[in-house]
Structure 1
Amino acid sequence: MNRTALLQETSAWTDTVDLALCLFIYGVCNDCQFGYLSGSDFVNFMNLKPTSRPVTVRPKENLRVCYMVFSVSQTIRPRERGKLWAEEFLQRCGISKSYYDKHRNDVCAQGTTRENREYRKSIDSAIENARRLNRTP
């Protein structure tokens, strides 16, 4: 069984991306980087599960999606699973691995737009909020 098939099989019965993180990312990205989705569809989308309708990346949002994918993939353990998740997620978004490898940190680059800096802060905050929420007993 190849690695992608293994990830798909595993994702059928377990969530790869934490629910809290999905919901915080949903607050940042839904109807902005992606076409509008219900919360449950967004959670399924983030976890590589079927959604009730196709998910589309909005025009000119590939750069931001790459940063989100990179940031989320860093939260997934083991790391290899995070890399596999990123590859499969990008494929579903129609973003090539070479584009991702080249641009995933562009929103962090010096001279980036104010909008990109704000987006990066929103994604970073979403990840931190999910971490904090998961630490509470």
Structure 2
Amino acid sequence: MPDQAKSNFDVLYEKIENAVSDLTTLTVITAVGDVKVSQTAVQEDGKKKRVRSETYQNAKAILSKIDLIDGDINTVMDEAFVNDAGYAGLRDNHLNRVQDAQAIVDKNIKTLLGMVKTVGDILREIDTQKANQ
């Protein structure tokens, strides 16, 4: 069968599928000090992917990782966020951002699943119409 150009629906479905597969871990970082963040685009398995690198030289940081499959939440923080009252506001802000991020991800997952279902329904309808011609 000759190669056919992907339809707009196929392209959209592929993008949605890639987005869903990337949604396994949520990371929230709060850092104070010498922080450098860079982002580059790379090709991996024929797909364009953004790679972010971070350097926290002499920085105080809180890092939370949430496994969206298992629901595990791991948080590590510099002891200054625990012992120094001056960092309490940042610590509390970080924890609030973790909760906000979880709510955003939950909403995005529901939206993506709805889109995947809609695109799948459209593709099935197109296949049915083609089969009936």
The normalised TM-score by structure 1 is 0.37
> Which structure has the highest helix share of the two?
1
Larger radius of gyration: 2
Whichever structure has more strand as a proportion of its residues is 2
- The answer to which structure, 1 or 2, has the higher relative contact order (CA under 8 A, 6+ apart) is 1
